[in-house]
Homo-oligomer: A and B are copies of this chain.
């Protein structure tokens, strides 16, 4: 097979899945990805889920857990996906990645009551986006 991917280290299927998520500009679900990349030759769920897993691992995308959806990282790969925060509109379901160094510093240095620190977190905020608030 020819080298179809760009000058990063993504494989062909990973690149196809990444391109689709990036293009969509809103959270995408795995089976939506699947149906949209059929024309590119990806035919079955495992091909999509493998790509998603790898893309998450290298920090190029994140999973929005409350929506079982995937978005491209807007934040220099979030230190390889160990520190993610999202803003989610409860009305229109718009999802935005929060890039805020004060917040990430606070959470990365957070110690719980037992003194435990954490390597990784995921935070999802819910509210009304600007557009929905002004309606």
Contacts and interface: CB of A to CB of B under 8 A. Distances in A.
A31 interface: no
Interface in A38-93: 65-66, 87, 90
A99 B113 contact: yes
A90 B119 CA distance: 10
A81 to B, nearest CB: 11
Interface in A102-119: 103, 106-107, 110, 112-114, 116-119
A131 B82 CA distance: 22
Query: Interface size for chain A: under 10, 10 to 19, 20 to 34, or 35 or more residues?
Result: 20 to 34
Contacts of A119: 90, 126-128
25 contacts: A65-B66, A87-B112, A87-B116, A87-B118, A90-B119, A90-B120, A98-B112, A98-B113, A99-B113, A100-B112, A107-B123, A116-B127, A116-B129, A117-B127, A118-B125, A118-B127, A119-B126, A119-B128, A120-B125, A120-B126, A120-B127, A121-B123, A121-B125, A121-B126, A123-B124
